[in-house]
Amino acid sequence: MTHVLDPDALPDEARALMAPPPPYDDVTRSDAAFRAFLHGLPGVDQVGAEARVAMLGTRSIKTTAKAWAIDTAISMVDLTTLEGADTPGKVRSLATKAKRPDPGDPTAPQVAAVCIYGDLAGVAVETLAGTGIHVAAVATAFPSGRASRAVKIADVQDAVANGADEIDMVIDRGAFLSGRYLDVFEEIVAVKEACARPGQDPAHLKVILETGELVTLDNVRRASWLAMLAGGDFIKTSTGKISPAATLPVCLVMLEAVRDFRAATGRQIGVKPAGGIRTTKDAMKHLVLVNETAGPDWLTPDWFRLGASSLLNDLLLQRQKLRTGHYSGPDYVTVD
Amino acid sequence: MNDRLAVRKTYKLYVNGAFPRSESGRTYEVTDSRGHFLANAARASRKDARDAVVAARGAFGKWSGMTAYNRGQVLYRVAEVMEGRHTQFCAEVEAGEGLSGSKARAAVDAAIDRWVWYAGWTDKLGAVLGGSNPVAGPYFDFSIPEPTGVVAVLAPQQSSLLGLVSVLAPVLAAGNTAVVVTSKQRPLPAVTLGEVLATSDVPGGVVNLLTGDAEELGPWLAEHADVDGIDLTGAPAGRAMELEREAAGTVKRVVRPSATEPDWSTDPGLSRITPFLETKTVWHPIGV
| Rounded Cα distance, A259 and A295, in Å | 8
Q: First-to-last CA distance in chain B?
A: 85
Across residues A68-86, what is the average pLDDT?
A: 96
**Confidence tier at B237 by pLDDT (50, 70, 90):** confident
**Confidence tier at A8 by pLDDT (50, 70, 90):** low
Query: What contacts A262, CB < 8 A, 6 or more positions away?
Result: A268, A269
Half-sphere exposure of A215 (CA within 13 A, CB side): 5
| Rounded Cα distance, A261 and A253, in Å | 12
Q: Choose from A327, A333, A335 for mutation: most chain B CBs within 10 A.
A: A327
Distance from CA of B267 to the nearest CA of A (A): 36
Across residues B197-201, what is the average pLDDT?
A: 96
Task: Tell me which chain B residues have a C-beta less than 8 angstroms from the C-beta of A331.
Answer: 225-226
Higher pLDDT, residue A283 or A7: A283
| Rounded Cα distance, A96 and A100, in Å | 7
Closest CA to A257 of A288, A220, A287: A220
The DSSP secondary structure of chain B, one letter per residue, reads: ---PPP---B---BBTTB-PPPTT--EEEEE-TTS-EEEEEE---HHHHHHHHHHHHHHHHHHHHS-HHHHHHHHHHHHHHHHHTHHHHHHHHHHHH---HHHHHHHHHHHHHHHHHHHHHTTTHHHHH-EEE--SSSEEEEEEEEE-SEEEEE--SS-TTHHHHHHHHHHHHTT-EEEEEPPSS--HHHHHHHHHHHTSSPPTTSEEEE-S-HHHHHHHHHH-TT--EEE-TTPPTTTHHHHHHHHHTTT-EEEPPPSS---TTS--TTTTTGGGEEEEEEEEE---
**What pLDDT, on a 0 to 100 scale, did the predictor assign at position B273?**
97
Task: Tell me which chain A residues have a C-beta less than 8 angstroms from the C-beta of B225.
Answer: 320, 326-329, 331-332
Interchain contact, A327 vs B224, CB within 8 Å: yes
Distance from CA of B227 to the nearest CA of A (A): 8
> Beta-carbon neighbour count of residue A175 at 10 Å?
17
B277-285 vs B139-147, strand pairing mode: antiparallel
Interchain contact, B220 vs A327, CB within 8 Å: yes
As a whole-number percent, the residues of chain B with pLDDT over 70 amount to 99
Assess contact for B26 and B13: CB atoms under 8 A.
no
Per DSSP, A272 falls in state E
Enzyme catalytic residues of A: 168, 236, 272
**What pLDDT, on a 0 to 100 scale, did the predictor assign at position A267?**
96
Q: List, as ranges, residues 6-45 from B with C-beta within 8 Å of A.
A: none
> Cα separations (Å) of A169 from A130, A299, A335, B235?
25, 23, 28, 57
Q: Where are the domains of chain B?
A: 27-261+270-285
Measure the CA dihedral A322/B218/B55/B77, to 10°.
Answer: 180
Compare CB distances from A329 to B220, B226, B249 and report the shortest one's residue. B226
Q: In what order do the strands lie in the sheet with A113-117?
A: A270-272, A234-236, A204-208, A166-170, A134-139, A113-117, A77-80, A306-308
Half-sphere exposure of A115 (CA within 13 A, CB side): 28
Compare CB distances from A331 to B220, B225, B249 and report the shortest one's residue. B225
**What pLDDT, on a 0 to 100 scale, did the predictor assign at position A7?**
62
Write the CATH number of the domain with boundaries B27-261+270-285.
3.40.605.10
Query: What contacts B195, CB < 8 A, 6 or more positions away?
Result: B14, B85
Measure the CA dihedral A315/A316/A322/A324, to 10°.
Answer: -160
Half-sphere exposure of B117 (CA within 13 A, CB side): 20
B58 touches A at CB < 8 Å: no
Distance of alpha carbon A173 from its chain centroid, rounded?
Answer: 16
Interchain contact, A327 vs B249, CB within 8 Å: no
pLDDT beyond 90 at A279: yes
Task: Please give the ipTM for the structure prediction.
Answer: 0.87
Q: Is B146 exposed, middle or buried (0-12, 13-18, 19+ CB in 10 A)?
A: middle
**What pLDDT, on a 0 to 100 scale, did the predictor assign at position A189?**
95
Task: Tell me which chain A residues have a C-beta less than 8 angstroms from the C-beta of B224.
Answer: 326-327, 329
| Rounded Cα distance, A92 and A126, in Å | 9
Across residues B127-155, what is the average pLDDT?
A: 96
Higher pLDDT, residue A335 or B167: B167
**What pLDDT, on a 0 to 100 scale, did the predictor assign at position A335?**
85
A326 touches B at CB < 8 Å: yes
Nearest CA in chain A to B54: A329
Q: Choose from B47, B226, B245 for mutation: most chain A CBs within 10 A.
A: B226
Interchain contact, A329 vs B224, CB within 8 Å: yes
**What pLDDT, on a 0 to 100 scale, did the predictor assign at position A18?**
72
Closest CA to A228 of A16, A41, A3: A41
A278 touches B at CB < 8 Å: no
pLDDT beyond 50 at A1: no
A330 touches B at CB < 8 Å: yes
Across residues B196-204, what is the average pLDDT?
A: 97
Nearest CA in chain A to B47: A327
Interchain contact, B223 vs A330, CB within 8 Å: no
pTM of the model as a whole: 0.90
Interchain contact, A327 vs B57, CB within 8 Å: no
Phi, psi of B7 (to 5 degrees): -85, 110
**What pLDDT, on a 0 to 100 scale, did the predictor assign at position A16?**
65
Distance from CA of B50 to the nearest CA of A (A): 7
pLDDT beyond 70 at A5: no
Distance from CA of B268 to the nearest CA of A (A): 32
B224 touches A at CB < 8 Å: yes
Domains of chain A: 44-325 (3.20.20.70)
| Rounded Cα distance, A128 and A130, in Å | 6
pLDDT beyond 60 at A30: yes
Higher pLDDT, residue B88 or A15: B88
**Confidence tier at B74 by pLDDT (50, 70, 90):** very high
Closest CA to A211 of A165, A257, A167: A257
> Cα separations (Å) of B69 from A134, B66, B125, B167, B270?
53, 8, 11, 21, 18
Across residues A275-302, what is the average pLDDT?
A: 96
**What pLDDT, on a 0 to 100 scale, did the predictor assign at position A19?**
82
